[in-house]
Amino acid sequence: MIEIREANLTDLPEITALFRNTITHINSKHYTENQIAVWASGADNEKKWKARIAKNYFIVAEQHNTIVGFAYLTQGNNLDGLFVHKDFQRQGIGAKLLRVIESQVIMTGYKEIKSDVSKTALPFFDDYYYEVEKKQLKHLKGEVFENYVIYKTL
């Protein structure tokens, strides 16, 4: 049974470990070793993660008291992250997180949700009727990442 709840600061170690492991194991099929190392190093910025949890709508998916996924919104309608544990892929966890996030966007009065997503995540969002606004290149610590700006009218 998957339970969705708002994240708190005590979740930080599990959230950052999940972030790092998902990128390392799932996204490695679409990005280079250097890109993966740079992207996964984002887990090390504890101050940034604490601010994300404290200031944003940030939810976790739990199964048997273990965090198996998380998602968070910034600026009211920007899905800034949705990650599912590498060992719990394709079990409906991402879909459940996405439904809760979309409901939150609607409840706060927005008509559209937006996100920047990886090549790996694009097929998932396509399954939930997200449209690609544009393909883009993002620069991070000397690496260039190809990703997509997507949106959905709610």
Is the separation of the CB atoms in 49 and 15 below 8 Å?
yes
Q: Give the tens place of pLDDT for each residue, 90-133.
A: 999 999 999 999 999 999 999 999 999 999 999 999 999 999 99
**CATH of region 3-110, choose from 3.30.70.980, 3.40.50.300, 3.40.630.30, 2.30.130.30:** 3.40.630.30
Rg (CA), the chain: 15
Q: What does the domain layout of the chain look like in residue ranges?
A: 3-110
What would the pLDDT profile of 128-141 be if each residue is shown by its tens digit? 999 999 999 999 89
In contact, 59 and 101? CB cutoff 8 Å: yes
pLDDT of residue 29: 87
Query: What DSSP element (H or E) covers 125?
Result: helix 122-127
pTM: predicted TM-score of the whole model, two decimal places: 0.95
